[in-house]
């Protein structure tokens, strides 16, 4: 019997991208896949499709269909509500909607669902799987290092250790398989704050539910798939508790040999002329362009954009800068007027990072962006904002040594002089810059090897599918 996987994710781009790339790989291996995110996100992925036509067949990839769940905000109006309220208010609706999808005896002529894979932040999916008696796996969309940190925070006594030393942000922790890490570089949800933070409280509660509910969650989960690869985090993978079946299957990125390079639209609403920014990159020699982008969620404040503008002007290097939102503080300097700088509101990041002209990525170091940069061999300058990003930057700077961490002022703003210093370090002719670029090249090769036929992540995914087939 051919397995039918139901893949479910929280409706943000950073969760949709890796899960959709996993869907393509499962289809490539011969499985049926139904992909499910919220109806509002689905509408942005397929703006030209009939919104009432569910399930929706992928126009390019056979055996892949889309069947979104309802969160009660099918028109997208949840954007006006505070996010912590969204999690609390939509849970029952999401669970009920997904149950009807997962329990269907057939979906558009395909066999019934046999296995569920879901991403972080939506633990209610595991409740649905448990109620229906369906086997399941968690797709961990952050590095394995973060999985280990959260696991030991909830299971290894580190929660109390962090709380007792929170006044010293430089206090160094030694977790199994993880390089020494200071409290300030932990995921933001784990760093104690004196003021009440409802947002943090809700998010930490979701992680706590994933790691402490023995029936359905990552704490004692049957399978945890990780969007990383063994060579990148081998110490972490070998140190994770043996009772956890943690499997590296990344990097989960688009592949022209698997998906034809054709995937649904980005759910971020900004659009841009692809031809314009790719033609801009085509004008420049290898490794000469600075690329700046800070993800699909964060918006930079006016003071920070002003400092970016000054640094880009003073660097004298060509740049491509993705600016989302109102663009306050963004100065159209002589570089833009001369054509050596380009401001855009969105781009296909994988295509940009894969272009030979790009020599440095100034990034928030969200995990998708970090992994895309690793796979493209582009050195990074990290400016973390929240969640896992501080830890990711520490890995880039201190462990993998394929980039640097930018130092911000007490007000959290990265000054132009510091960004210029980082740019010179990464792109200049100094010894450290050469080392960073060599490391970036090395990690690119290792990332590519992991997903090629017979690579470690490729074999892990094949064996995962075979094991599922034996048990269903």
Catalytic residue ranges? 15
Q: Give the residue from 425, 291, 297, 447 showing the smallest Cα distance to 358.
A: 291
Cα-based angle 253, 259, 263 (whole degrees, multiple of 5): 75
Name, in order, each residue with C-beta under 8 angstroms of 426's C-beta and a sequence gap of 6 or more: 359, 360, 379, 380, 381, 403, 404, 433, 436, 437
DSSP structure string for 256-270: HHHHTT--PPPSSS-
Nearest to 229 by CA among 247, 256, 253, 254: 247
Q: How many CB atoms lie within 10 A of CB 72?
A: 17
| 321 Cα distance to chain centroid | 20
User: Of 119, 113, 147, which is closest to residue 131 (Cα–Cα)?
Assistant: 113
Closest CA to 221 of 153, 157, 151, 152: 151
Cβ-Cβ contacts under 8 Å for 299 (sequence gap 6 or more): 324, 325
- Distance CA(197)–CA(356), nearest Å, equals 43
């Amino acid at each position: 019997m051919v397995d039918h996987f139901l893949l479910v994710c929280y409706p943000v781009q950073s969760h949709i991208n890796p899960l959709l790339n996993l869907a393509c790989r499962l289809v490539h291996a011969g499985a049926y896949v139904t992909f499910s995110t919220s109806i509002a996100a689905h509408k942005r992925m397929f703006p030209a499709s009939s919104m009432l036509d569910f399930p929706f067949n992928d126009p390019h990839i056979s055996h892949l269909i889309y069947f979104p769940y309802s969160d009660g905000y099918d028109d997208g109006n949840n954007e006006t509500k505070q996010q912590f309220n969204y999690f609390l208010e939509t849970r029952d609706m999401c669970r009920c909607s997904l149950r009807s999808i997962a329990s269907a005896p057939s979906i558009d002529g395909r066999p019934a669902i046999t296995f569920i894979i879901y991403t972080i932040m939506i633990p209610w999916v595991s409740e649905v799987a448990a109620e229906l008696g369906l086997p399941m796996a968690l797709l961990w969309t952050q590095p394995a290092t973060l999985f280990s940190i959260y696991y030991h925070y909830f299971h290894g006594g580190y929660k109390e250790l962090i709380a007792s030393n929170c006044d010293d942000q430089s206090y160094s922790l030694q977790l199994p398989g993880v390089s020494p890490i200071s409290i300030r570089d932990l995921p933001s949800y784990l760093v104690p704050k004196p003021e009440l933070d409802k947002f943090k409280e809700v998010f930490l509660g979701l992680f706590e539910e994933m790691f402490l509910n023995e029936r359905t969650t990552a704490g004692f989960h049957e399978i945890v798939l990780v969007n990383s690869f063994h060579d990148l985090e081998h110490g972490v993978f070998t140190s994770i508790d043996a009772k956890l079946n943690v499997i590296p299957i990344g990097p989960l990125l688009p592949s022209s040999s698997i998906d034809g390079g054709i995937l649904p639209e980005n759910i971020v609403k900004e659009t841009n002329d692809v031809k314009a920014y790719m033609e801009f990159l085509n004008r420049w020699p290898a490794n000469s362009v600075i690329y700046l982008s800070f993800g699909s969620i964060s918006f930079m404040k006016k003071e920070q954009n002003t400092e970016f503008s000054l640094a880009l002007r003073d660097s004298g290097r060509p740049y491509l800068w993705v600016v989302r939102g109102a663009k306050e503080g963004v100065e159209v300097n002589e570089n833009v007027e001369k054509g050596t700088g380009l401001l855009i509101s969105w781009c296909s990041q994988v295509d940009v990072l894969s272009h030979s002209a790009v020599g440095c990525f100034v990034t928030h170091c969200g995990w998708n962006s970090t992994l895309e940069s690793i796979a493209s061999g582009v050195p990074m300058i990290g400016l973390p904002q929240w969640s896992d990003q501080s830890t990711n930057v520490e890995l880039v700077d201190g462990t993998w040594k394929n980039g640097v961490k930018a130092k911000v002022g007490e007000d959290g703003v990265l000054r132009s002089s510091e960004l210029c210093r980082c740019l010179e370090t990464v792109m200049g002719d100094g010894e450290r810059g050469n080392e960073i670029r060599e490391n970036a090249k090395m990690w690119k090769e290792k990332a590519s090897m992991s997903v090629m036929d017979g690579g470690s992540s490729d074999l892990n995914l094949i064996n995962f599918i075979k094991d599922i087939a034996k048990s269903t």
